[in-house]
């Protein structure tokens, strides 16, 4: 088992594709689709790493990331932000908020797997 990953993604096709790719690589995969309740779900599931969409209903990925970094219990949790918005300002905002890795859609399957493996190492 590679570890536990929580996908916070509201686009069903992307979520299912990621779930398939990651489960095939040995990950235990959880899925959550609502930004408003994402922080509570992260605390409930206790993942090793989070894949976080930037644009979500209820709260943005940046808001969620800032909430994670503000809480000592989740401040060091590795977060891969995955977004269709790949402009420099989006990347800069995510980096300022403390993202571990920033990746744009579309993405290469091997790149996602390699990034999560590297991020989940102790």
Reported as a single tens digit per residue, the pLDDT across 9-50 is 999 999 999 999 999 999 999 999 999 999 999 999 999 999
- The 8 Å CB, 24+ separation contacts for 105-109 are 105/14, 107/82, 109/21
Q: How far is CA 88 from the centre of its chain?
A: 19
118 CB-side CA count, 13 A: 9
Secondary structure letter of residue 67 according to DSSP: H
pTM, to two decimals? 0.94
Asked whether 65 and 94 are in contact (CB, 8 A), the reply is: yes
Residue 103 bridge partners (DSSP): 82
State the DSSP code for 54.
S
Domains of the chain, earliest start first: 3-120 (3.40.50.2300)
Per-residue pLDDT, 122: 60
Mean pLDDT, range 63-77, rounded to an integer:
96
Q: What is the predicted pLDDT for the residue at 56? A: 94
pLDDT tier at 105, thresholds 50, 70, 90? confident
Is a pLDDT exceeding 80 seen at residue 75?
yes
């Amino acid at each position: 088992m590679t570890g536990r990953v929580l996908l916070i993604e509201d686009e069903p096709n992307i979520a299912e594709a990621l779930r398939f790719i990651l489960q095939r690589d040995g990950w235990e995969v959880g899925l959550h689709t609502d930004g408003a309740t994402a922080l509570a779900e992260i605390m409930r599931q206790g993942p090793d790493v989070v894949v976080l969409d930037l644009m979500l209903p209820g709260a943005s990925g940046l808001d969620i990331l800032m909430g994670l970094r503000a809480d000592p219990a989740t401040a060091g949790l590795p977060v891969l932000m995955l977004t269709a918005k790949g402009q420099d300002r989006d990347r800069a905002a995510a980096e300022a908020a403390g993202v571990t890795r920033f990746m744009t859609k579309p993405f290469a399957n091997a790149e996602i797997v390699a990034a999560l493996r590297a991020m989940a190492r102790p």
